[in-house]
Amino acid sequence: MMKNILSGISGCAIVFLASCNMQKTDSTPPNILFLLADDLGYGELGCYGQEVIKTPAIDELAKNGMLFTNFYAGNTVCSPSRAVLLTGKHPGNATIRGNSGIFDDDLWDRIPLKKDDLTLGEMLKRAGYQTGFIGKWHLDDPNDLTTWAYNRGFDFAIQDQWSARTGGSDFAGNMHYINGKEDSLAYDPIDYDCIDEFRTDLAFHFLDRRDKNHPFFLFMSYRIPHAHEWNIRDKELYADKGWPENFRRHAAKITLLDQQIGRLLKRLEDDGELENTIIFFTSDNGPHSELGHDHMFFNSSGGLRGFKRDLYEGGIRVPLIIAWPNKIQPGIVTDRISAFQDIMPTLAELAGIDIPAQSDGISLLPVLAGKEQKEHDYLYWEFQLDGWYTILPDGGFRQAIRMGKWKAVRYGINVDTELFDLDADLFERTNIADKHPELIQQMNSLFESSRTDTDHFPYGGKVQPYRAIDRFKLP
């Protein structure tokens, strides 16, 4: 099946391009495995309190590593969140601030990373890592191959392609493109329990062919449990629960993802690589409530307010588990406030290189070693809803700040800022802005100063709320 397909990939598609001559020694940095779920909520894993959806492999990973309870995604939907993760720039400095940005002709379209945005792949490739990327990139212009993962620092990249300015007609949804458009593989749901089983087999392909004289950085960008991943074989999973079909399939997707992560970790163990591999697991944003799914059914946000596309806690607070056998003390739970921009400096220090100047993050490496580390003064988010969402009263422009126990949220720029004390009100039920006018003034000032303007994502007041109606012909 997969082995036969992969054996036909042209030789040039499996050549790794080492960027230096670092040979493997006792001081060689660890392998890095980064596992990213798509739309997995803070409360959808057993180790984060989920009671009915089974995730034994991820729960075991948490048991053997460190679990973060105050960790935040880069944003509340995939593209801007991944931009923060891949570049280390916080949401007010990142190139991408929504799934689409606006052009001079009022066309909303995908915005790629800038050419001078250093990515995790480029950073680690320069440090001597063999770099692999498998799955959903979503940081490119589909019609410009220089913006795809293979040309942004990944020696071996197999990515799907969601859309293009042609309306997506040039890219089949089941195709995975190898090293740009050098070759392609079709995912056939007849052969697999889920698309992430297919992607795990691709990861095995990467591990089979890498040069073991160099450490690897493998970024697994899964699609589960995104609403648009329908093709799963789950007739046995949760069939006895009596849940509506849509919810049963949602739970099955998460358990199937857990199974694939278990397969991948078992492979590393069998290869004798697990002890020298640091593993990160997280999600790109909060849970979705799309295509008939309701995030409340499984308490997917863990009780937190909001979900995907919200800047309340449920939209941006996500799981983070980091495990490294014999290096990280197992079973530790930390409430350190941290976010996606902290990943770049962490990986830089793991690789033994300088933290890139563009990074807005703070390395978590001391935290993993049980040592003191400085804290963020505050975390900032901004998000621009695209297309027809701009008919909303807030124009689709949203901002939030986390400063210690305080959380400020502003939906639109000409509205009152909400304030919550997360120590006393984790679920953001009671707006106490009227009790803290000086703090509100400070938060509003930070909303203005924490961002740089960009042509594609201008400050909220410059976006006309109704400009997209004619183009999208809404009823």
Residues 155-164, mean pLDDT to the nearest whole number = 83
Confidence of residue 188 (pLDDT cuts 50, 70, 90): confident
Q: Give me the pLDDT at residue 460, please.
A: 64
Residues 419-443, mean pLDDT to the nearest whole number = 98
Average pLDDT, the chain: 88
For the stretch 311-350, pLDDT in tens is 999 999 999 999 999 999 999 999 999 999 999 999 999 9
Q: Are 318 and 285 a contacting pair, CB within 8 Å?
A: yes
For the stretch 136-148, pLDDT in tens is 999 999 889 999 9
Whether the per-residue pLDDT at 204 is higher than 80: the answer is yes
Residues 75-98, mean pLDDT to the nearest whole number = 97
Q: Give me the pLDDT at residue 404, please.
A: 98
The structure tokens listed for 276 are 């020298």
Q: Give me the pLDDT at residue 459, please.
A: 75
User: Among residues of the chain, what percentage have pLDDT more than 90?
Assistant: 73
Single pTM value for the model? 0.92
Q: Please report the domains of the chain, with CATH numbers, ordered by start residue.
A: 2-7+29-368 (3.40.720.10), 379-472 (3.30.1120.10)
Pick from 67-81, 189-203, 226-240: least confident: 226-240
Residues 451-462, mean pLDDT to the nearest whole number = 78
Q: Give me the pLDDT at residue 229, please.
A: 81
Question: pLDDT higher for 20 or 388?
Answer: 388
Confidence of residue 391 (pLDDT cuts 50, 70, 90): low
Q: Give me the pLDDT at residue 249, please.
A: 93
Question: pLDDT higher for 387 or 267?
Answer: 267
Q: Give me the pLDDT at residue 25, please.
A: 41
Q: Give me the pLDDT at residue 233, please.
A: 85
Confidence of residue 389 (pLDDT cuts 50, 70, 90): low
Q: Give me the pLDDT at residue 288, please.
A: 95
Residues 73-101, mean pLDDT to the nearest whole number = 96
Q: Give me the pLDDT at residue 107, please.
A: 67
Q: Give me the pLDDT at residue 143, please.
A: 86
Residues 4-17, mean pLDDT to the nearest whole number = 41
Confidence of residue 456 (pLDDT cuts 50, 70, 90): confident
Confidence of residue 6 (pLDDT cuts 50, 70, 90): very low
Residues 390-397, mean pLDDT to the nearest whole number = 71
Residues 7-31, mean pLDDT to the nearest whole number = 50
Confidence of residue 104 (pLDDT cuts 50, 70, 90): low
Backbone angles phi, psi at 229, to 5 degrees: -95, 90
Pick from 64-73, 116-125, 289-298, 424-433: least confident: 289-298
For the stretch 223-257, pLDDT in tens is 999 988 877 888 789 999 999 999 999 999 999 99
Whether the per-residue pLDDT at 106 is higher than 90: the answer is no
